Amino acid sequence: MAKSCGFRGSTAESVRSDVVVLDISILDSKSKQKFAEKHGLNFPLLADEEHGVLEKYGLWKEKSMYGKKYMGVSRETFVIDPDGQIAAHWPKAAG
């Protein structure tokens, strides 16, 4: 949530006009729409319930909490250039 809200504020001021900001989650599109409306986000939130896109970017990873392992989303940030190539990547982007 904090990362999405941080991008909401930065998209108007510091992101170039030719850049599109997207957020992706495994939650369904209805929950994404509700979240976007609640927080006034100015960019699309995409639902990837089957995590196909997340897997292609290597973001569907094994995680661990309190000694229990589970699969989950790694919160990372990518900048994709106009040719579809990764121009920048922050694996531990603050959020």
> Residue 59, SS3?
coil
Q: How many helices (H) and strands (E) does the chain have?
A: 3, 6
Fold for the domain defined by 2-90: Glutaredoxin (3.40.30)
What pLDDT score does 64 carry?
Answer: 95
- Compute the distance between CA of residue 73 and CA of residue 63 in angstroms, rounded to an integer: 8
What is the pTM assigned to this prediction?
0.66
pLDDT band per the 50, 70, 90 thresholds, residue 12: very low
Tens of pLDDT, residues 40-90: 887 888 889 999 999 999 999 999 999 999 999 998 888 888 888 888 888
Domain boundaries, the chain: 2-90
